[in-house]
Structure 1
Amino acid sequence: MNDELGAPAPLSADGGIDRPTPCPSLYQINTRVWLTKLSVSLGRPATLDDVPDTELDHIAGAGFDWIWLLSVWSTGLAGQHISRTDQAWRREFEETLPDLREEDIAGSGFAITGYTVHPGLGGKVALARLRDRLRQRGLQLMLDFVPNHTALDHPWIEDHPEYYVSGTELDLARAPQNYIWVKGSRGDRLLAHGRDPYFSGWPDTLQLNYGNPATQEAMIGELLTIAEQCDGVRCDMAMLVLPDVFARTWGLPAPAFWPAAIMRIRERVPRFRFMAEVYWDLEWTMLQQGFDYAYDKRLYDRLRAGQARPVREHLQAGPDDQKKLARFLENHDEPRAAATLATGMHEAAAVITYLSPGLRFFHQGQFEGCKKRISPHLVRAPIEPQNEALKHFYCELLAVLRQPTVRNGEWRLLSCTPAWESNWTWDSCIASCWEGSNGQRILVAVNYAAHQSQCYVRLPWDDLAGGTVRLRDLIGSASYDREGNALISRGLYLDLPPWGRHVFKVSWTIE
């Protein structure tokens, strides 16, 4: 592999990745959409075995540590039927694909009938072979775990109906959208749809009862099955099975699930990683449950709001805590960044997001500027033009993220001060720095506003005294020489255009 792109991480004796990176990068891929596109070029249905080595080489060469393959598990005909007949969903699908066909709607990848790879993707053996190819390139594999619910036609509905939340005729009368009669050989049962406490039930799912210890044990068994097939899981809506959230939703007491489940998996696979999809300001709660990473939805929301101060305040948390947050600008649930963030704002938000400590979480299509969100019910993506300028920006940003300094170094938030008395625009500036073990330094500065801003950035490096400092922008062409004593005494003066950003490599010579 080209040295400029970096070498894959070394494998340990048991096949895990040695010396895990404190700030790794993850690339989310919609597996079914990926293979549908590949099927067109092959002229036949593609499986995981057909993913080209060159594509894996490209992902590894771009600096990624993890691939998250969305929607690889088995789904059933019941979920597919709901997806194809639900009129609200279908209108969404038609907005994504004006030429929508029935075969484009496979059913939600989160209405799971079992944690075995869908036969149409090549089954368990194809996933094992793909995982081996990923490991040869230093890439780790993340898959889905859906703790809250199963598909309507999961085998447990017949074999273990006690695993589910049941309802009464009164429940059905009060909230008919949240319950469904399910036929079985031992009679019909009224069961609840999976849901969160703020929305109606998902009609293609059934709610698991975490108040039943047998349900929890069965779900730990599912996690053990998954842990044999990958290196980590992204846990869908992980906060829904917290005891207080579950009780608030269903009025049922439930013991804690995550601490025991995570401990059991790590007894079997010590390096296995857990990432929580989490909302409602419960990120720290999930980390205390034992998760390695939690979605940083707060940062995402504050960036979308376009106000610098709340973003800066969010970044004041300790660096060690921030390293446990998954930073993203889009994913399969959120709107596309290119559709919601204006040009300039998008790039500024990306610099803040991905040059902060934590797991750097990117989504398939983000680099190319795709604007249409693809529902996890669909297996085909629309053809969209590529945004070449945005693609070039991300190419430069990924090159920065491959540098050891921002993968393994120490990060700190820096102070910005007014450039002159009554200059209020400094409050729109956000600055930080990275320092590597080899002494390399990178300075990040962003004007997160739609107006021009000026400030002084206080630098933490007293050893710049008596020298000449060169600042070379790694995501632009700017290069400046500054006198070290002035930088220490006053700071670095910046005059940034709307949404302006710099990622400076800092070097100096002592005279």
Structure 2
Amino acid sequence: MPHTFINKLLLKKQALHLLQEAGLREVAEGDIDIHAARKIALWRQSSGAEVYLFALLTTASRGMARHYLPQIGLQPGLSKIHSAKGVQALPELSTAYQAYLECYPGEALSLVNEPGMATTTIQARQALLADLFFLDALSENPAAESFKDLLDDSDLASRLDYRSLIVQFAGQAEPLQEHGKSLPELLRRPAKENPHNLVEQISYIIKNWSPWLPQEVVTKMQIAIALTEEESRAYLPGPGPSPMPLFGEGDGSDAAAAFTADTDWMTTSVLLAKSIYIWLDQLSSHYQRSITTLADIPEEELVSLANRGFNALWLIGIWERSSASKRIKQLCGNPEAEASAYALHAYRIAEELGGENALRALEARCRQHGIRLACDVVPNHTGIDSELVKEHPDWFLQTDQPPYPAYDFSGPDLCEMEGIGIRIEKGYWDHSDAAVVFEHHDHNSGQHRYIYHGNDGTHMPWNDTAQLNFLMPEVRQAMSDLILAVARRFSLIRFDAAMTLARKHFRRLWFPPPGGSAGVQSRSAFALSDEDFTAAFPVEFWREVVDRINREAPDTLLIAEAFWLMESYFVRNLGMHRVYNSAFMNMLKREENTKYRLILKDTLAYNPGILKRYVNFMNNPDEATAVEQFGKGDKYFGVATMLATLPGLPMFGHGQVEGYREKYGMEYRRAYWKEEPDVGFIQHHEQQIFPLLHSRHLFADIEYFSLYDFMTDQGVNENVFAYSNGPIGQKFLVVYNNRTQATRGRIHLAADKASPEEEGLALPMPPFWQELGLDRSEDPFCRFHDLQGNQQLVSREQLSHGLELQLDGYEHRVFSDFQTLSDEDGSWQKLYQHLNGRTVSNLECERLRIVYQPLWKAFAALFDQGRLHVLAGGLVTARQTGPIDKIMTELSAECNAFVSMIGSSIEGSEGHSTSQIDLKALFADLSGWLAELSAAEAVEKMLAGQWQGTRSQAGLGVTILSWLMLQNLSQALGFSDESRCFEVFGSYGLDFAWQESAASEDQGRAVFLATLLTKTAGMQPHPAVDAPTFAHLCQGRENSRFLGVNRHQEQTWFLQEGMTALAGAIALQAGILQLRSGQGKEVPTISTAAAEHLRQRLARAAAVGYRLDKFLDLS
């Protein structure tokens, strides 16, 4: 800087003395920078940035005056002044010099009193006179009023009329042409333009004086303005407004898209977050045993996660944490606190959690259930006492003195590492301040560093973290190496606060351009030019990381937690596989539906590939829980349905499915609210959400995704989200009304969608009915069903105008299985007219009911369980009374009538039997056999007991009679296989008719068991006497449901009632099959063997406590 511009305050004698007494001699007498300005501000109880602005106003004004006077040729002597107009006697000059030096003793201008006209002497006198011009101008500057205590001219003016003197000076020369103003006018101009605002005065000087100012002074002025903005910025907690992305504009939009392709499993990932310590504590409570390591996580939990549709598990807080962070949390009031999950000591699995071996064991078990593990990496910062802080303290952003002199680091030493002291600023302990740095003291060298805390510039520094300096190549390389090492251990990596390391935002936060306000307080003082920043940080760190992972660990899914409208940039330009989409949560919660539909539309029109790379969520770990934001009612399940069905990666929060409301702090070791899982809430997920998660292969991609407008009489209802996805034949249509008001409208036209070949070229899409693949035939009807199991029949003509729907407030509908239907016999037309727009649970059933109504009635009447119950009781008493005889006669006649009714229409039967069904003979034999059983030894007597039942167990007589009637019908119709006959009955809907005839749950179980007996009748060997066949029978899906198979506390159980009924029914069937074969007296009775097996099975079931795995092992 030229000597003309001196970067120090002009201080009057009294102010200089007070500063020296306050221990600020160095500040008072030396050059002033932001640190010195803040020290003076602390002494004056004012703003450091404002003091710095005033100091720079002083520098610029004094410098301009010192530049101006030599240019007009003024050469002051001791008693006269030389100028272009000649020599003018001014005897008061020497008095003025002396008065100035006495009033402002800090200025090194003693040469002014030297005799003669040496160059250095003239320059000193010119500088002194320049200060007089400056003081005169400053006295009329309202914005400088608060600084009069430092340099006001009252003492000088009492000794000397210096203003009349400078008027004489000014009259000695014409104004400089380059300025067009006299020196007094020039110096007063900034205050005249902006009398009460120092920032505006400095801005004026930058704009108008820059040609005569050194660039360093201009840069400092720009920084001072930025520091002032920085100090005055409000840092408010809580979420701000929901910003809208601008596709095709901004960062990287002119570059070609550079997405990273998914490997096969990535597209359908569904992520569940678990805060590890809290989860282990909850598991311990649930299972009533100590579960403290990763290896202890029960198998049942992994089975449950997989069954629910989760295939990725994010373990939050598994790394070694900072002991300093833990101590901070505990000293601040929570004696149970752990360190923050994001203040890390090192990237090793915490030994408390079982270390690396426990992780490997858990990972192996998770893989068996199709679950991959996810973890966090936080390259932005470490804990304040991390291994890196110890080994490479120079890798962190730091200064050699506190950025604000008021900072006090007299609190406790938080470091357990030998030779190092770590202290956070005192204001954190009493909640009076939030310092941006902490103190690092090397006891061996004595060096003090003030290292910046991690900070995203939005609210508060993270006071247990240390910010890494990514301008250093060695830091970037070390973090890249770390990420690669983690990628070789985990399938998914979530990068916390990833946007803070994008070059744009790293610069904004820490190294703004001169005049650019920093995101982090005090960092405007560390401004860098564009050239210097680019030289230090030339390439996006994240792009380098992604490219390296793609080369060396390509099967790792990378997730960026990024906000600030960086979502598109992170996947399209930087190549992350997935990026957080906070708009999903925020806009749907606030019901900013128009804005979110616009995001979907704009994304589709620009590049749909972005949409499939969003991570959608209803809460983030540091947000309020999902039920706190969305409730537990229809709105929650509507948004959760969108979460499960939109393209991208769905992420569920810890406790979201269970309905927990507590927001867990990152330092929590346990939950503090006593919450139990909401069983009804979970069941609602099981019915509505989990089935969708298992169908993510149809929802996750964007190739078949279409978004629709919901048209009402008033136009588009922006509150309704309607979209379809999936290939033809597997289409799903999702509709949700995210508003409390009901609505009615049509889904017809799809939003434009960009061509895969040309970004930004939005092409019109086919109408709704074509998108669903319903235009491939001329069939007059189509059908589809919703997630609740209801089916709807619509005409092709209806669809051509769009699908009309009525939606209540927060109602959602999910439709699938779109099929066109031919109607050769007119049955669909009849059903269409009959339903008149109503939905039903089974359209095929309803159609068959209309077409075969007489058969349905006849078949249902045959199996009237009230009548069969009377018959079963009569047979066991072995008395053919009048009522029983009448029932047998009626049943025989009705069976023969049914055979006549259905026989002629059956295709594929093996010939019509000419014999008539006579149930009397069969039932007479059966009655005698039951009488023998009742009189037999105990083991065979069990079979009779199974027929009759007990108070706690329904008898099986009705079930056996139903099966026997089916067997006789099968034989009469010419079927050798009764199970094949029952399948044919199903083609007429008679299975539906039979199920509907069951008036209670017990009757329904009897129908199921009778149907099962049609299948077991032909099994060889028969399951009644063969253990492997019976074991296989116990494991079928429908059979398991009949047995009441369930999982509880890592074990599989069944119900006693179900096993007794199943085992008893097949034992009775085995005996009856032998009875009907006529072999009962020629071979050892199967009844005895079947009864013995029945006894053993029921005893074994009780012995193993009705645990299925043990029961089958023993079988």
TM-score interval, normalised by the smaller of the two chains: 0.7 to 0.9
What residue number does 1:51 align with? 297
Question: Larger deviation: 201-210 or 53-62?
Answer: 53-62
Q: Does the Cα contact within 8 Å between 2:736 and 2:811 map onto a contact in 1?
A: yes
Q: Shift of residue 191 of structure 1?
A: 0.6
What secondary structure does 2:399 align onto?
A: coil
What residue number does 2:740 align with? 450
**Which residue, 236, 243, 257 being the options, matches 2:496?**
236
Structure 2 residue ranges without an equivalent (≥5) = 1-261, 408-433, 512-527, 749-767, 824-1115
What secondary structure does 1:29 align onto?
A: strand
**Which residue, 788, 797, 806 being the options, matches 1:485?**
797
In 2, the alpha carbon distance for the partners of 1:172 and 1:38 equals 47
Q: Are 1:266 and 2:542 an aligned pair?
A: no
In 2, the alpha carbon distance for the partners of 1:217 and 1:341 equals 43
What secondary structure does 1:299 align onto?
A: helix
Q: Are 1:291 and 2:576 an aligned pair?
A: yes
Q: Shift of residue 177 of structure 1?
A: 0.8
What residue number does 1:195 align with? 455
What residue number does 2:437 align with? 179
In 1, the alpha carbon distance for the partners of 2:777 and 2:406 equals 70
Q: Does the Cα contact within 8 Å between 1:117 and 1:127 map onto a contact in 2?
A: yes
Q: Shift of residue 201 of structure 1?
A: 1.2
Q: Are 1:66 and 2:379 an aligned pair?
A: no
Q: Does the Cα contact within 8 Å between 1:231 and 1:273 map onto a contact in 2?
A: yes
Q: Are 1:369 and 2:659 an aligned pair?
A: yes
**Which residue, 339, 348, 359 being the options, matches 1:116?**
348
Structure with a larger share of its residues in strand: 1
Q: Are 1:413 and 2:695 an aligned pair?
A: no
What secondary structure does 1:113 align onto?
A: strand
Task: Give CA deviations for 1:63-88 in whole Å, capped at 9, x if unaligned.
Answer: 222111111000132010111233xx
What secondary structure does 2:435 align onto?
A: helix
What residue number does 2:1105 align with? none
Question: Larger deviation: 249-258 or 405-414?
Answer: 405-414
Q: Shift of residue 61 of structure 1?
A: 2.1
Task: Give CA deviations for 1:6-45 in whole Å, capped at 9, x if unaligned.
Answer: xxxxxxxxxxx97225232111111111122334446446
What pairs with 1:394-433 in structure 2 (closer than 5 Å)? 394-395=685-686, 396-403=688-695, 404-407=697-700, 410-420=703-713, 423=714, 426-433=717-724
TM-score normalised to the size of structure 1?
Answer: 0.88
Question: Larger deviation: 426-435 or 228-237?
Answer: 426-435
What secondary structure does 1:427 align onto?
A: coil
Q: Does the Cα contact within 8 Å between 1:464 and 1:484 map onto a contact in 2?
A: no
Q: Does the Cα contact within 8 Å between 1:449 and 1:499 map onto a contact in 2?
A: yes
Q: Shift of residue 486 of structure 1?
A: 1.4
What pairs with 1:287-326 in structure 2 (closer than 5 Å)? 287=571, 288-316=573-601, 317-318=603-604, 319-326=608-615
AA matched with 1:484:
R
What residue number does 2:779 align with? 466
Q: Does the Cα contact within 8 Å between 2:270 and 2:309 map onto a contact in 1?
A: yes
What secondary structure does 2:595 align onto?
A: helix
Q: Are 1:102 and 2:347 an aligned pair?
A: no
In 1, the alpha carbon distance for the partners of 2:436 and 2:719 equals 45
AA matched with 2:470:
Y
What residue number does 1:137 align with? 369
Q: Are 1:340 and 2:629 an aligned pair?
A: yes
AA matched with 1:53:
E
Q: Does the Cα contact within 8 Å between 1:281 and 1:298 map onto a contact in 2?
A: no
Q: Shift of residue 447 of structure 1?
A: 1.1
In 2, the alpha carbon distance for the partners of 1:174 and 1:306 equals 45
Aligned pair in 2 of structure 1 residues 18, 245: CA closer, same or farther (>3 Å)?
closer
Q: Does the Cα contact within 8 Å between 2:709 and 2:716 map onto a contact in 1?
A: no
Task: Give CA deviations for 1:276-312 in whole Å, capped at 9, x if unaligned.
Answer: 0111111011112121000011222211111322221
What secondary structure does 1:195 align onto?
A: coil
What residue number does 2:141 align with? none
In 2, the alpha carbon distance for the partners of 1:393 and 1:310 equals 29
Task: Give CA deviations for 1:297-328 in whole Å, capped at 9, x if unaligned.
Answer: 12222111113222211222234221111011
**Which residue, 313, 323, 328 being the options, matches 2:617?**
328
Q: Shift of residue 468 of structure 1?
A: 2.1
Aligned pair in 2 of structure 1 residues 481, 235: CA closer, same or farther (>3 Å)?
same
Q: Does the Cα contact within 8 Å between 2:278 and 2:670 map onto a contact in 1?
A: yes
Q: Does the Cα contact within 8 Å between 1:142 and 1:234 map onto a contact in 2?
A: yes
Q: Does the Cα contact within 8 Å between 2:649 and 2:700 map onto a contact in 1?
A: no
In 1, the alpha carbon distance for the partners of 2:343 and 2:480 equals 18
AA matched with 2:543:
P
Q: Choose 1 or 2 for highest CA Rg.
A: 2
Q: Are 1:506 and 2:820 an aligned pair?
A: no
What secondary structure does 1:22 align onto?
A: helix
Q: Does the Cα contact within 8 Å between 1:299 and 1:314 map onto a contact in 2?
A: no
What residue number does 1:95 align with? none
What secondary structure does 1:315 align onto?
A: helix
Aligned pair in 2 of structure 1 residues 418, 155: CA closer, same or farther (>3 Å)?
closer
In 2, the alpha carbon distance for the partners of 1:364 and 1:465 equals 50
Question: Larger deviation: 323-332 or 453-462?
Answer: 453-462
Question: Larger deviation: 261-270 or 290-299?
Answer: 261-270
In 1, the alpha carbon distance for the partners of 2:805 and 2:569 equals 38
Task: Give CA deviations for 1:93-130 in whole Å, capped at 9, x if unaligned.
Answer: xxxxxxxx623x11101000100000100001111111
In 2, the alpha carbon distance for the partners of 1:425 and 1:161 equals 59
Q: Shift of residue 142 of structure 1?
A: 0.9
The percent of aligned pairs where both chains have the same amino acid is 25
AA matched with 2:464:
D
Aligned pair in 2 of structure 1 residues 265, 418: CA closer, same or farther (>3 Å)?
closer
- Whose relative contact order is higher, 1 or 2, with alpha carbons under 8 Å and at least 6 apart? 1
What secondary structure does 2:745 align onto?
A: strand
Q: Does the Cα contact within 8 Å between 1:416 and 1:455 map onto a contact in 2?
A: no
What secondary structure does 1:265 align onto?
A: helix
In 2, the alpha carbon distance for the partners of 1:237 and 1:371 equals 24
Q: Does the Cα contact within 8 Å between 1:21 and 1:407 map onto a contact in 2?
A: no
Q: Does the Cα contact within 8 Å between 1:182 and 1:190 map onto a contact in 2?
A: yes
TM-score normalised to the size of structure 2?
Answer: 0.41
What residue number does 1:226 align with? 486
Structure with a larger share of its residues in helix: 2
What secondary structure does 1:172 align onto?
A: coil
What secondary structure does 1:372 align onto?
A: coil
What residue number does 1:5 align with? none
Structure 1 residue ranges without an equivalent (≥5) = 1-16, 91-100
In 2, the alpha carbon distance for the partners of 1:242 and 1:21 equals 24
Q: Are 1:354 and 2:644 an aligned pair?
A: yes
**Which residue, 714, 725, 746 being the options, matches 1:434?**
725
Q: How many residues align?
A: 476
What secondary structure does 1:279 align onto?
A: coil
AA matched with 1:466:
D
What residue number does 1:93 align with? none
Q: Does the Cα contact within 8 Å between 1:115 and 1:225 map onto a contact in 2?
A: no
